[in-house]
Each structure stands twice: as C-alpha cells, then as structure tokens.
Amino acid sequence: MKIAVLPGDGIGTEIVAEAVKVLKTLDLKFEMETALVGGAAYDAYGHPLPEATLKLAMDSDAVLFGAVGDWKYDKLDRPLRPEQAILGLRKNMGLFANFRPAICYEQLVGASSLKPELISGLDILIIRELTGDIYFGQPRGRRIATDGHFPGAEEAFDTMRYSKPEIERIAHVAFQAARKRKAAGTEGRVTSVDKANVLETFQFWKDVVTEVGKEYPDIALDHMYVDNAAMQLVKEPKRFDVVVTGNMFGDILSDEASMLTGSIGMLPSASLNTKNQGLYEPSHGSAPDIAGKGVANPLATILSAAMMLRFSLNQPEAAQRIEAAVQNVLAQGLRTGDIWSEGTTKVGTAQMGDAVVKALG
C-alpha cells in the first residue's frame, strides 16, 4: 500500500504528522513517501504542483493531504497560487467524487452553535461533484495583471457547465452511498441540491439526477434549491441523509455543515476517482494565523486517514479502530482549543495525536 504524503502549508505539516503517527501505530505495511505541495513547493521549485509531486500522487494508492495556502502568496498570478495544486491533483487524478461526512459526536454536542436537540445524533453525508461546474469552466473576458488582478477591465466572467455523464456518475455515487447507509440503519434518502429555478445548468442537473434516481426505487429522492438547503442545514439538519450537489454549492454547504459538528477541525473528507484511488484531507484550510503554535486540531486529518483505509486501501477494520479511538479520546474529555469547553481538558496538536495512538492500544 503506497501513500503519498503531502503536508502542504501552514498547519498542514503539523496535522499530517499526527495522522502519520497514528497510521504507523497500526499493524499494517505502508510505503509512505513525502513531497512538497502548495506554497512550500512554489518556494522550492517555482510551482505549487511540481512534476515529481504529481507523479508520486499518480503512482500511489492514496494521497494524504494537509492544506495549502498563505496570505503571502495572494499576489501571485493565479496559476501559481498554492490552491492550484489541489485543483491540479483533482483534475489529473480524475477525483470527481468528494465525500464530506458531518457527524456530531455525542461528546461534542455542546460545542455546536446549534441547540443540542437539533444536532444530537447528526450523521449526514455531503457528496460534492469535484471536477466540473464553474471552477473548471473556461474563464472569459479577463485581463490579468502579474499580481492576479484586473486593472482597466470592464467585466470578467466564468462558464458554469456540466455534461450528462458527469452528472450521471456523481448521482450513481450518491444513490449507492445512500443504499449502503440505509443498510446500516439510515433513512435511505438522497437530496439533490440545485438552483434550477434560475440556472439552466442546474435544471439540466435536476433532470439527469431524476432519471438516475429511477434506477434506485428503494432510495427516496427529493430536490432542494441551494438557498433553502443552506437554511435547512441550520434549521433542521437531521432531515438530511445524503446530499449531492455541484462543485461550488458543495464547497459552500459542506463548510456550513462542518459547524454543525462543533468545529471544522472535526471534518474529514475523501475525494475518489473511478478506481477508488483517493485524496484524503481535512475540510479546513492551512490556518496560517495559528501555524507553528501546536494548537491545531488534528482529528479531521486522523479521521481522513481512517477514510483512506476504508475507501482506497481496503482496510475497514483498521478504519473502525481509528474512529473508535477518536471517540475514546473525546470521551476522556481531551479537547484542542477549537472544541474546548468548561470541564474539559485543553491539549495541543501533538498531545491529541498521542492520545489517539494510546487509545489504539
């Protein structure tokens, strides 16, 4: 099992170190190779995704990714900014399906900004299409200066597009995920989020998802406009089971959902291609304001490593062990600053990683 380890920038190096520590505790044979990506790669090689890093990722069974970005790179031409590394990996690896589970652990109910009765027992899965939509549509009408801005420009626009095969394959992923979750006791419902009342692209999306849904008569399907979905996520989040949506809406809604769980520092994610080769990363960013302070929450990255074991490395029992260890640590009352509350014990990044290792036995 070959894992490409790409820590990236900011807190990425700290949180990935803890996930690697946890993986090494398991009685499994991994080949792990580390490479630079993002701003760190730009500083060393003049590009956020060097050829050697991309080749390593392509040749690996899975990628464990930290985070990229820093304010100091904001003046770079857009193709050279750290964030382009993650877009490049998604495109070259064909990572079209992004899984972002939002689970509220019982021990963290009090950390959520919502009332306990709204989020206690919350377990939803947001599936975001990752290689289409406006993020990959052809930009038009730009005059880009070397600092990435538009001096003298009168307009700028980007093209939102989806093809039928792109929508069909992400819809199948969503319905199949709902079917598996139903077997484990959830409702078995897919909510497709769109903006069909305004955007032709998403009327097309809605039509295609509806057609695919006919192949899954055991799974309920409903459609919801994205603005209503954003409202319902904070009004009645447990009404959702599996949410499937496009690239931009999924980006926004999954970050919103993260706060239902108490902190974005608790949210793992997986991005998969048709071969189940995947990139695994926490849903949060590089947080340069706290980088190097040893206070970042590594649990989202550790849980991402568990998803990696489950989806790409075919080690579901090891994944369950890590997830159980995380719950054990939370039950002990250990908390990083983002989820800390009165009566719990505040710990740093490495201490939290050590606690998960200890809980693994």
Instruction: Report pLDDT for 78.
Output: 85
Backbone angles phi and psi of 82, in degrees to 5: -55, -35
Structure token digits, residue 246:
């496009």
- Domains, the chain, in order of start with CATH, read 1-99+267-361 (3.40.718.10), 113-261 (3.40.718.10)
Query: Is residue 207 annotated as a catalytic residue, yes or no?
Result: no
126: helix, strand or coil: strand
Q: Is 227 a catalytic residue?
A: yes
Q: How far apart are CA 344 and CA 319, in angstroms?
A: 26
Instruction: Please pick, among 227, 275, 293, 358, the residue that the annotation labels catalytic.
Output: 227
Catalytic entry in 21, 123, 135, 158: 135
Rounded to whole angstroms, how far apart are CA atoms 189 and 122?
15
Give yes or no for residue 243 having a pLDDT over 60.
Answer: yes
Q: Two tokens at 249?
A: 């809406």
Query: Residues 15-72: pLDDT tens digits?
Result: 999 999 999 999 899 999 999 999 999 999 999 999 999 999 999 999 999 999 999 9
Say if CB 191 and CB 127 are below 8 A apart.
no
| Residue 251 annotated to the active site | yes
Over residues 356-361, the mean pLDDT reads 95
pLDDT at 184: 85
* Whole-number Å distance between alpha carbons of 353 and 361: 13
Mean per-residue pLDDT for 352-356? 98
Kindly report the pTM of this predicted structure.
Answer: 0.87
- Please tell me the predicted confidence (pLDDT) of residue 258: 79
pLDDT in tens, 137-146: 776 555 555 5
φ, ψ for residue 289 (rounded to 5)? -70, -25
Relative to beta strand 278-282, strand 62-67 is: parallel
Question: Could you identify the residue written with the tokens 């080690």?
Answer: 315
| Helix 12-25 × helix 349-359 angle, to 10° | 10
Question: Please, which pLDDT band fits residue 283 given cuts at 50, 70 and 90?
Answer: confident
Of the candidates 43, 123, 158, 251, the residue annotated as catalytic is 251
Residue 95 in contact with residue 271, Cβ under 8 Å?
A: yes
The Cα-based distances of 262 to 5, 44, 133, 225 in angstroms read 27, 36, 29, 25
Q: Read off the tokens for 20.
A: 């690697």
Query: How large is the average pLDDT for residues 293-319?
Result: 95
**Does residue 195 have an active-site annotation?**
yes
pLDDT at 236 over 60: yes
Dump pLDDT digits (tens) for 148-196. Answer: 566 667 777 889 999 999 999 999 999 999 999 998 888 899 999 999 9
Q: Quick check: is 70 catalytic?
A: no
Candidates 194, 195, 216, 338; catalytic one: 195
